Chain A
Amino acid sequence: MFRNQYDTDVTTWSPAGRLFQVEYAMEAVKQGSAAIGLRSKTHVVLACVNKANSELSSYQKKIFKVDDHIGVAIAGLTADGRVLSRYMRSECINYNYTYESPLPVGRLVVQLADKAQVCTQRSWKRPYGVGLLVAGLDESGAHLYYNCPSGNYFEYQAFAIGSRSQAAKTYLERRFENFKDSSREDLIKDALIATRESLQGEKLRSSICTIAVVGAEEPFHILDQETVQQLIDAFEIVAEEEGPASEPGAAADEGAAAEEGAGADQGSGAAPMDI
């Protein structure tokens, strides 16, 4: 594109009033593997696609527990994400120490956003190259926020970021109105289906995705592989019976793959390093 003139540092505006370095940072988020979040009134579910650099390596950790009531999924420069998770954890611990109560999610995302903004206005810094889906519960209910490198943050009913997230977003857009009253199980099922959308062709197995849940009576935790595989098997069998009617057209080959592989493909594929 014709952005080359004003994109050398983050403190230079373009004549059209844009900061290209910040926009490039947002591109980095789009390059990372997909992360998906959805919420109901009582639960929030995070899902992400586990992508390993090569067959020899393990996949990178993209979902982090921040506190009992908050978790985060990242897409983009995972190193930046790790550092920001550490910051979030530290903020939660300090708040809890001072006030003996959990840090409200909305406060945390504002602090995170302000931290990101600083990097967009210092000539010796660069913006964080990571998008964060912050899932949490507090007194005002269940929340899902998206924090971007620009320093903006938005609240969502459901959202997806990273590569091939558009497919997941399309699925979520069709279904999000129902999420508010979804049960925990349905919410997780929707997360898995949305994850499958961004896999686009590849078979959905528990080794290729990570699911995490937080709820009113349920501290944030990552589901273990067996549980996830059972859930996948459960709804893929249902999907077979229903036929591909409820699935979008682009996933027609998904149905065929499910029929072949259902039950035969438990836990196979590259074994990732255990978290």
Chain B
Amino acid sequence: MTKQQANWSPYDNNGGSCVAIAGADYCVVAADTRMSTGYNILTRDYSKICKLADKAVMASSGFQADVKALQKLLAARHLIYQHQHNKQMSCPAMAQLLSNTLYYKRFFPYYSFNVLGGLDNEGKGCVFTYDAVGSYERVGYSSQGSGSTLIMPFLDNQLKSPSPLLLPAQDAVTPLSEAEAVDLVKTVFASATERDIYTGDKLEIVVLNADGIRREYMELRKD
């Protein structure tokens, strides 16, 4: 008598890639807009990026139904925070909230691979990268999703932050200018699109800086 196996899964992977890069006074968050299931494309025009607060933007790849549920929950929690504290949540605060929210479902996780980007309390760019159950770390740059294995080594090559073991301690942020960082993101996605079948169609780029938030799009290969 063999153990019964489930004949369905509550999860699906809708593919796609996300990237975030932190600068001295800006942060770039980007994701492609392709949503797939199996070998099929569901839509070429789906945003994986969500503005959670004035200074915190999240990009998530994975199971988009879980991503949507997570985005809604965080938005509601942010409203409560605003009512109680009379101000917007800072990016580090949102980072902790996201971590706690993910861990809350440790035993039936959100199938959501997140990068959170924004400006910290000093106005410097910050990026937080997560796994599905909320383990997180502040980094200078990160990528998640189906193309992350292709993107991450390239970002390491271009942006490698100094090891935290180095003394004296060095900043985790990138010495790139905002325009250079946006350009790097476009290059990175163009490359990932070539080899990852789940990444392509269009690239959505969100840039946060002292002047506010700006959105940009770039076409990617559709095959």
A residues lining the B interface (CB < 8 Å): 65, 86, 89-90, 93-94, 96-97, 275
Contacts and interface: CB of A to CB of B under 8 A. Distances in A.
A86 B79 CA distance: 12
B85 interface: no
A41 to B, nearest CB: 28
B215 interface: no
The prevalent SS among residues of A at the interface is helix
Contacts of B79: 89, 93
Interface string B66-80: 000000110010011
15 contacts: A65-B83, A86-B83, A89-B79, A89-B80, A89-B83, A90-B80, A93-B76, A93-B79, A93-B80, A94-B76, A96-B76, A97-B72, A97-B73, A97-B76, A275-B86
A96 B79 CA distance: 11
Interface of B: 72-73, 76, 79-80, 83, 86
Contacts of A96: 76
A275 B80 CA distance: 17
A96 B86 CA distance: 20
B88 to A, nearest CB: 14
A23 B31 CA distance: 60
A275 B76 CA distance: 22
Nearest to B86: A275
Nearest to B83: A89
Contacts of B73: 97
Given A93-B76, A97-B72, 10 more contacts: A89-B79, A89-B83, A90-B80, A93-B79, A93-B80, A94-B76, A96-B76, A97-B73, A97-B76, A275-B86
Nearest to A90: B80
B101 to A, nearest CB: 14
A206 to B, nearest CB: 19
Contacts of B72: 97
A97 B86 CA distance: 21
A86 B83 CA distance: 9
Contacts of B86: 275
Contacts of B80: 89-90, 93
Contacts of A90: 80
A86 B76 CA distance: 14
Contacts of A86: 83
A94 B86 CA distance: 20
Contacts of B76: 93-94, 96-97
Contacts of A89: 79-80, 83
B82 to A, nearest CB: 9
A89 B83 CA distance: 8
A153 to B, nearest CB: 23
Nearest to B84: A86
Nearest to A94: B76
A94 B75 CA distance: 11
Contacts of A94: 76
A275 B83 CA distance: 12
B165 to A, nearest CB: 44
A275 B85 CA distance: 10
A269 to B, nearest CB: 23
A96 B72 CA distance: 10
Nearest to A275: B86
Contacts of A275: 86
A172 B76 CA distance: 38
